[in-house]
A and B are shown apart, each in its own frame.
Chain A
Amino acid sequence: MERFAGLLQQLPRSKGELLRALHLAQEQLGWVSKDAIRLIGRHLRMTDAEVYGAATFYAEFRHSPPPKTLVTWCSGPSCRVVGGDRLRRILEVELGCQLGENGPDDEWGMWLGQCNGTCERAPMIWVNGRVVGPLTMVETVKLARRIRAGEDVVEWPQRPIKIAPATFVDAEAVYGGDEHGEGAG
């Protein structure tokens, strides 16, 4: 926190620096805490509400501390076409927390991620920033249970990628969830 406060002081005191300040908070603290919002507001001469409004507009700024094991669910179209929504539902059930939430004691949590172009591994998730995929449903259940058990899953065996022929999927399964997976799917 002190390091963040120090770095914040180096930013010019203008409202235009708000996004840089928020990025700085997320980078240094892992999330945008209320204290960080207060410090940013004080430095940029904005109110807490102005900072909070901007921070909540962008989905990737986090408002709760990062968990020990962070599962990031990819919301990109490629993943969803090949069943990413089912991955999400399995993870929600198995981990016991909704998208954007942390599990008990911040041991694990699931956040929304945006496609970074590793679509050859769809459907995939990131575990602590590392791509894991393509995942079958059974593998997802196993993965989630190992996370729950507190095991290290960084060394998850990666399957070789098969380029499968295009398949038609049930439109309900793909588009049935809410936009960006907000609310109950």
Chain B
Amino acid sequence: MARITIDGVSVDAPDRAPLVEVIKNAGFPISNLCYLDGLPAYAGCRTCAVEIEGMRGLPLSCTTQVTDGMVVRTDTPAVTEMRQEVLAVILSNHSDRCLTCHRVEHCRTGEICLRDNEVTHRCVTCSKNYRCELQTTCDAADVGRANVEPYIDEARSYYRHSQPEPDRANPFFEFDPQMCIICTRCVRACDDLRHTTAITLAGRGFTTRIAFGAGGQIDESNCDFCGACVDVCPTATLMEAPNKWVARPDKWVTTTCTECSMGCTIQLGVRDGRTVQVRPGNGNDVSRSQICVRGRFGYDQTRDKDRLRAASIGRGEDAFEQDGDAVASDAAAKLSAILAEHGPAAVGVLGSGQSTTEELYALRTLAQRIGVANLDSSLGSVTAAIGDALRAAFGSEHLPSRLTSVESAELIVAIGDDISASNNVLGVRIKDAVANNRASLVSISARRNPLADYAVDEAHAIQPSDGDLAGVAQALTVGLLRDMDIRAALSEVDGLPEVTAAPREGLEAALATLSRRRGGSVAVVVAPSRANAAQAAAQLCAAANLAVVLAGPEAAPAALHVLPPEANSVGLRDLGVAPGEGGLGVAEMLAAARAGTLKALLVARDNPMLLHPDQDATRAALEALDLLIVIDEVRSETVELATHVLPDISAFGKDGHITNADRQVLRLRSATTAQRNGRSLSDWLAALADGLPAVETTVPSEAEDGEPTVTPAPAMPQSEADARAAIAAADARYSALAAGATQARQPTNGAATQRLLGVEASGAAGEGLTLLTGRDLYTDRLSAARGEADADLLHRGESVQIHPADAAERAIEHGAGVTVSNGATELALRAEVTDEVPQGAIWLPILHNRAAAQRLLGAAATKVAVSRG
């Protein structure tokens, strides 16, 4: 620690810390327009100059490191004058409408401008007015008193040049280069914080400018619209397009994003009860200052007018809107009648990994109360497969691994179709490890993804064309175990799926890297298939095996990182929202419904039409039901088939918790108001429960089976302190569980090979092209559920991707119409010819066109025929 003096005040700071951060953190005003906390100083703006005793001139505080006994002054006349001169140079080519208005002294934030309408040169014509760092800096430095640009006269240099046109072509960002001061914060954020590198400095000298991609529009570049550049932009150059003009929030609410299982902490800017802006929040130590396009802009794609705004009774044409309580009591009465007539075996309940833990607890309690054992979720078979595989491998689902260790790992194996799309921020952390830590990355993904560029080399980005990621991982495991040539391992080992779909050289190169770097700090990251439970199980088993071989049996549980499909999938498993004794899983429930033995289904925020494979069979099952009660936020296809609909509110309006992939219990805070007639899922369940008969059941307690399956659903925390205590308690429980799990699976030496699991071949077999599918980054979940044509605002994931060779064989041209068929069902789509997919496979985002891909998918991996027209 060093003790320094800033403006006469003594401050303690870590030795060699950047002085500008110390000054800022100590609460002294210091201007810095180019510095980014935590990144190396750029020293471009030169506004952070200070006076330091014993040093010549005015050193920049961003490039100065703290040493003990330093005496710093931030507000001497010399410093102020320098700052004013520097700002004058910056402003000489920047719009000055917010600074030079003669009324600026009299105005307050957000006041109505009293100047004539004809005056276009007003502060209110800049969307960043009163939120702008440059404006604040100029005010603080009192540039106006210095008689420099832009204050000298009307002939300002800014007006002597014509200004470039803004880029407003995409729905998320607006890029207005005339506001740019070339601080390069966005360039460095995109490069050093995100590793996307979509932004560059183009040209040189006075004409240097910021450019995206190959110099075109933002949406033509590889920008993934995470918004890190918008967060750091000190001016109005890069702005969020949605709510650009109204985003002056009344309050900021810290909550948790539910778009994927990362559970990034976000801050919602709320104005008049609705979200107008989203910023990353501190809280989740994996995501930290980063979120993705779904977290930042997803809020705007579903507004209150798009949500369900009335409860209704009846199907299709016969549906009519009714008071919510009436619908609930009618639903409860009908459900009671079915329970009385057919017994609880004729009733099923579906929950969702999008619900809070509290809601799931209420749902499970309701199911137990009426004695229903048919409890599951649409992705239940996938989450169950994950859980079973983990139990088989390590004896517990509770792994002690922490996702924070990924960015410091030396060797990373990423298994999953595009982790950057399904769990975007973890993709950033994997790139962090490669870029900052020289980690070796092996990427196993059927479709080429942004991680491929970060793999050791091209060969280390393995793309099996039959989609059998597990087979590749298992082949690597066996190769490592036998410590021999992979060719021999492939042919000699029993039970090993034959890996023919991945290039040999890739396997050999990856094997060489893995055997060289094993034993160090290893991270095996797996994002199991969300469409196919068998594949998910195989992937998990193979990943666990690989972790055991690479990290050693003792360290393996801490080296395996599982990314379940939904925000609260872990909480759903922990709470036991799974078939009870003798109960049916989701696939069996739907089959029973088709067979007529299941009469009633309660669907709580779940959506089997979107999430369960074989959509046509799902539709038939739901149509066959006598009673289908759906509680959901938007008019999904499942809602359209329902007999009773109850409108749920948005996740942004709820209090509760979720458990993310990292087993962190994260808080959701209510920020927005409910839409008309909307009530939270818990309220609807309570209303239903009022009308239902209670059955005596024994609630499974933790003592019974030793492995606790129940997270205590805490009473709704009434205060911040309550919430913190609840989270701390939950955290402590998970730590204890994880510690116990580690101890339980201390293996003996040499037992590693015996503990390895068999992996079934899970690639697609037969004729045709393998249908690859998964979550893409841009399609909004709720918009897709309600069948919005613009669910993917960028239209990047609306076509079926096909390899040039396959396309040429079938005479398919880029952009032409194609028919994709699995023999029974045909889909008409548009083709995108690209080498991002391997030869022999096609890619179709799962949520496109109300999850049309689900109509082609069966229980096993699918081959499809693709033809022109």
Binding site for B on A (CB under 8 A): 13, 34, 37-38, 45-53, 56-57, 63, 179-180, 182-183
**Which residues on A sit within 8 Å (CB–CB) of B213?**
47-49, 52
**Does B206 contact A49, Cβ atoms closer than 8 Å?**
no
Which chain B residues in 197-215 approach chain A with CB under 8 Å? Answer: 197-207, 211-215
Given contacts A53-B200, A57-B203, A182-B205, 9 further A-B pairs with CB under 8 A are A45-B453, A45-B458, A47-B196, A53-B211, A57-B202, A57-B204, A63-B215, A179-B206, A183-B161
Question: Closest 3 A-B residue pairs measured CB to CB?
Answer: A53-B200, A49-B200, A56-B202
**Does B216 contact A34, Cβ atoms closer than 8 Å?**
yes
Docked CA distance A39–B196 (Å): 17
**Which residues on B sit within 8 Å (CB–CB) of A46?**
197
**Which residues on B sit within 8 Å (CB–CB) of A52?**
200, 202, 211, 213-215
Contact of B215 among A47, A56, A179, A182 (CB under 8 A): A56
**Does B202 contact A53, Cβ atoms closer than 8 Å?**
yes
Q: Specify which of B197, B214, B215 lies most central, judged by the most chain A CB atoms within 10 Å of its CB.
A: B214
**Does A47 contact B211, Cβ atoms closer than 8 Å?**
no
Supposing A52-B211, A52-B214 touch, asked if A182 and B206 sit within 8 A by C-beta, the answer is yes
Docked CA distance A34–B215 (Å): 8
For residue B221, CB closer than 8 A to chain A, the reply is yes
**Does A34 contact B458, Cβ atoms closer than 8 Å?**
no
**Does A47 contact B198, Cβ atoms closer than 8 Å?**
yes
Minimum CB–CB distance from A96 to chain B (whole Å) comes to 18
Number of interface residues of B (CB under 8 A): 25
Docked CA distance A179–B204 (Å): 12
For residue B690, CB closer than 8 A to chain A, the reply is no
Docked CA distance A51–B215 (Å): 10
**Does B221 contact A49, Cβ atoms closer than 8 Å?**
yes
For residue B825, CB closer than 8 A to chain A, the reply is no
For residue B491, CB closer than 8 A to chain A, the reply is no
**Does A56 contact B197, Cβ atoms closer than 8 Å?**
no
**Does B201 contact A53, Cβ atoms closer than 8 Å?**
yes
For residue B243, CB closer than 8 A to chain A, the reply is no
Minimum CB–CB distance from A182 to chain B (whole Å) comes to 5
Docked CA distance A88–B211 (Å): 28
Contact of A47 among B197, B204, B457 (CB under 8 A): B197
- The residue in chain A whose Cβ has the minimal distance to the Cβ of B199 is A49
**Does A47 contact B222, Cβ atoms closer than 8 Å?**
yes
Would you list 13 pairs from A and B whose C-beta atoms are within 8 A, ordered by A residue? A13-B458, A47-B196, A47-B222, A49-B200, A49-B211, A49-B221, A50-B197, A53-B200, A57-B202, A57-B203, A63-B215, A183-B161, A183-B207
**Which residues on B sit within 8 Å (CB–CB) of A182?**
205-207
**Which residues on A sit within 8 Å (CB–CB) of B205?**
179-180, 182
Docked CA distance A47–B197 (Å): 6
Supposing A52-B200, A52-B202, A57-B203 touch, asked if A13 and B457 sit within 8 A by C-beta, the answer is yes
**Which residues on A sit within 8 Å (CB–CB) of B198?**
47-49
- The residue in chain A whose Cβ has the minimal distance to the Cβ of B213 is A48
**Which residues on B sit within 8 Å (CB–CB) of A37?**
214
Docked CA distance A51–B453 (Å): 15
**Which residues on B sit within 8 Å (CB–CB) of A45?**
453, 458
Which chain B residues in 269-301 approach chain A with CB under 8 Å? Answer: none
Interface of A is mostly: helix
**Which residues on B sit within 8 Å (CB–CB) of A49?**
190, 197-200, 211-214, 221-222
Supposing A45-B453, A57-B203, A182-B207 touch, asked if A51 and B458 sit within 8 A by C-beta, the answer is no
Which chain B residues in 490-506 approach chain A with CB under 8 Å? Answer: none
Task: Mark B172-216 against chain A: 1 for CB-CB distance below 8 A, else 0.
Answer: 000000000000000000100000111111111111000111111
Which chain B residues in 205-239 approach chain A with CB under 8 Å? Answer: 205-207, 211-216, 221-222
- The residue in chain B whose Cβ has the minimal distance to the Cβ of A49 is B200
Docked CA distance A51–B198 (Å): 10
**Which residues on A sit within 8 Å (CB–CB) of B222?**
47-49
Minimum CB–CB distance from A37 to chain B (whole Å) comes to 4
Docked CA distance A102–B260 (Å): 49
Minimum CB–CB distance from B279 to chain A (whole Å) comes to 24
Docked CA distance A63–B453 (Å): 26
Minimum CB–CB distance from B220 to chain A (whole Å) comes to 8
Docked CA distance A46–B196 (Å): 10
Docked CA distance A155–B709 (Å): 90
Minimum CB–CB distance from A36 to chain B (whole Å) comes to 9
Docked CA distance A38–B453 (Å): 14
- The residue in chain B whose Cβ has the minimal distance to the Cβ of A50 is B197
Docked CA distance A47–B214 (Å): 9
Docked CA distance A179–B205 (Å): 10
Docked CA distance A179–B203 (Å): 14
Contact of A48 among B204, B206, B214, B457 (CB under 8 A): B214
Task: Mark B511-547 against chain A: 1 for CB-CB distance below 8 A, else 0.
Answer: 0000000000000000000000000000000000000
**Which residues on B sit within 8 Å (CB–CB) of A179?**
205-206
Minimum CB–CB distance from A163 to chain B (whole Å) comes to 35
Docked CA distance A47–B190 (Å): 12
**Which residues on B sit within 8 Å (CB–CB) of A38?**
214
Docked CA distance A49–B207 (Å): 17
Minimum CB–CB distance from B178 to chain A (whole Å) comes to 15
Supposing A45-B458, A183-B161 touch, asked if A51 and B204 sit within 8 A by C-beta, the answer is no
**Which residues on A sit within 8 Å (CB–CB) of B202?**
52-53, 56-57
**Does B206 contact A50, Cβ atoms closer than 8 Å?**
no
**Does A51 contact B206, Cβ atoms closer than 8 Å?**
no
Minimum CB–CB distance from B604 to chain A (whole Å) comes to 43
**Which residues on B sit within 8 Å (CB–CB) of A50?**
197, 200
Docked CA distance A56–B196 (Å): 20
Minimum CB–CB distance from A111 to chain B (whole Å) comes to 15
Docked CA distance A50–B161 (Å): 28
Minimum CB–CB distance from B461 to chain A (whole Å) comes to 10
Contact of B214 among A13, A34, A57, A183 (CB under 8 A): A34
- The residue in chain B whose Cβ has the minimal distance to the Cβ of A63 is B215
Q: Specify which of A34, A47, A49, A180 lies most central, judged by the most chain B CB atoms within 10 Å of its CB.
A: A49
**Which residues on A sit within 8 Å (CB–CB) of B190?**
49
Q: Specify which of B197, B200, B203, B216 lies most central, judged by the most chain A CB atoms within 10 Å of its CB.
A: B200
Minimum CB–CB distance from A175 to chain B (whole Å) comes to 16
**Which residues on A sit within 8 Å (CB–CB) of B201?**
53
Minimum CB–CB distance from A100 to chain B (whole Å) comes to 11
**Which residues on A sit within 8 Å (CB–CB) of B457?**
13
**Which residues on A sit within 8 Å (CB–CB) of B161?**
183
**Which residues on A sit within 8 Å (CB–CB) of B204?**
56-57
- The residue in chain A whose Cβ has the minimal distance to the Cβ of B200 is A53
- The residue in chain A whose Cβ has the minimal distance to the Cβ of B161 is A183
Minimum CB–CB distance from B576 to chain A (whole Å) comes to 46
**Does B214 contact A56, Cβ atoms closer than 8 Å?**
no
Task: Mark B831-856 against chain A: 1 for CB-CB distance below 8 A, else 0.
Answer: 00000000000000000000000000
Docked CA distance A50–B216 (Å): 14
Docked CA distance A38–B457 (Å): 18
Task: Mark B631-669 against chain A: 1 for CB-CB distance below 8 A, else 0.
Answer: 000000000000000000000000000000000000000
Minimum CB–CB distance from A44 to chain B (whole Å) comes to 10
- The residue in chain B whose Cβ has the minimal distance to the Cβ of A179 is B205
Minimum CB–CB distance from A2 to chain B (whole Å) comes to 13
- The residue in chain B whose Cβ has the minimal distance to the Cβ of A58 is B204
- The residue in chain B whose Cβ has the minimal distance to the Cβ of A59 is B204
- The residue in chain B whose Cβ has the minimal distance to the Cβ of A37 is B214
Minimum CB–CB distance from B209 to chain A (whole Å) comes to 9
Minimum CB–CB distance from A60 to chain B (whole Å) comes to 13
Docked CA distance A49–B201 (Å): 8
- The residue in chain A whose Cβ has the minimal distance to the Cβ of B209 is A56
Minimum CB–CB distance from B135 to chain A (whole Å) comes to 27
Docked CA distance A116–B457 (Å): 42
Minimum CB–CB distance from A31 to chain B (whole Å) comes to 13
Q: Specify which of B202, B211, B216, B453 lies most central, judged by the most chain A CB atoms within 10 Å of its CB.
A: B202
- The residue in chain B whose Cβ has the minimal distance to the Cβ of A32 is B214
Q: Specify which of A37, A45, A48, A180 lies most central, judged by the most chain B CB atoms within 10 Å of its CB.
A: A48
**Which residues on A sit within 8 Å (CB–CB) of B199?**
49
**Which residues on A sit within 8 Å (CB–CB) of B207?**
182-183
**Does B211 contact A56, Cβ atoms closer than 8 Å?**
yes
- The residue in chain B whose Cβ has the minimal distance to the Cβ of A45 is B453
